[in-house]
Every structure is written in C-alpha cells, then in structure tokens.
Amino acid sequence: MHGDPAMDIHVEITSQPVTLKGRHEEVIMIPFSGTVTGRLFQGTVENCGVDTQILDAAGVRRLSARYMMTGTDMAGRPARIYVENNAICTGGDVPMPFRSIPVFYTDSEALAPILHSRRFIGEGRQEADGLHILFFDLSETDA
C-alpha cells in the first residue's frame, strides 16, 4: 500500500493459542491485545481480542479478527472502535504481507462519518518488533 496508514495496530499475543485439529481441517484461536497509533486514533486494543483462523481441506485459510480499541479520537475525545477484520489466504499459510477487509463500529462522533462510510483495506506486516495491522483509507488514494 502507498501512503501513511490511518491506523497502525501493534499486536501483542496475550496467551497460548487454542487449536482444534480435525481430519482435514484446523481451527486456531489466538488471543491478543495491543497498541494503536495513527492520525485517526491513539489507544490500546482491549485484552479480549481474538484472531480465529480456519484452515479447510482445500488449503484455504480464513482469518477473522475481532477486537475493541479504547483511546482518543482525532478530535482529542475518548472513543472506542470495534473492529471485525477478515482475510482469505490460499495455499494454507498466511503470506506476509497479507491483505484484509475491516469493518468498523465506533461511538466517536468525529470518527463515525469516516469509519462508517469510507472504504478501508488492512495490511498485515511482520516487523522487527512484531506483527502490525495497518489500515489504509482507500478514499485517500482514489483520484
């Protein structure tokens, strides 16, 4: 992606993943928290986030991360953002970087018009300090 991300989430794994291995499929649930920086929002990921990864018999991995962020919006007011971030990866493994599609819900009057009406894309990157999920506002790149 080009340009600066609207938000950058530094993911911190909070406990051991829980795994189910079936005959031809696998489910992994990874609990996490983290920190959030960016021009739209600054804060933390509450300690209740979970990334669920389902690998099916065809080698397709579906990722669905759901989490709540608490912090300060771009207007300097307290805010919360709920994120549901989904991706599909073929070939069994999660490539780096990977792309995802987030959906946002917020109680922030300043953020609601942006997060509820614009198109965003997520990008997962493995950096030296760990996994980062970056959200880019696609309306900023539409010309």
> So where are the chain's domains?
7-140
Q: What is the pLDDT of residues 7-38, one digit of tens each?
A: 999 999 999 999 999 999 999 999 999 999 99
Q: What's the mean pLDDT in 73-100? A: 91
Residue 102 pLDDT: 98
Residue 143 pLDDT: 43
Q: What is the pLDDT of residues 97-138, one digit of tens each?
A: 999 999 999 999 999 999 999 999 999 999 999 999 999 999
What is the pTM (predicted TM-score) of this model? 0.92
Residue 140 pLDDT: 72
Environment class of 1 (CB within 10 Å of its CB; exposed 0-12, middle 13-18, buried 19+): middle
Residue 90 pLDDT: 85
Residue 2 pLDDT: 61
Residue 19 pLDDT: 97
Residue 141 pLDDT: 61
Q: What's the mean pLDDT in 73-96? A: 91
Q: CA nearest 33: which of 83, 93, 73?
A: 83
Q: Please give the C-alpha separations between residue 69 and each of 1, 11, 14, 100, 133, in angstroms, as whole numbers.
A: 23, 12, 15, 18, 13
Asked whether the predicted pLDDT for residue 74 surpasses 90, the reply is yes
| CATH code for the domain defined by 7-140 | 2.40.160.20
d(CA 139, CA 116): 13
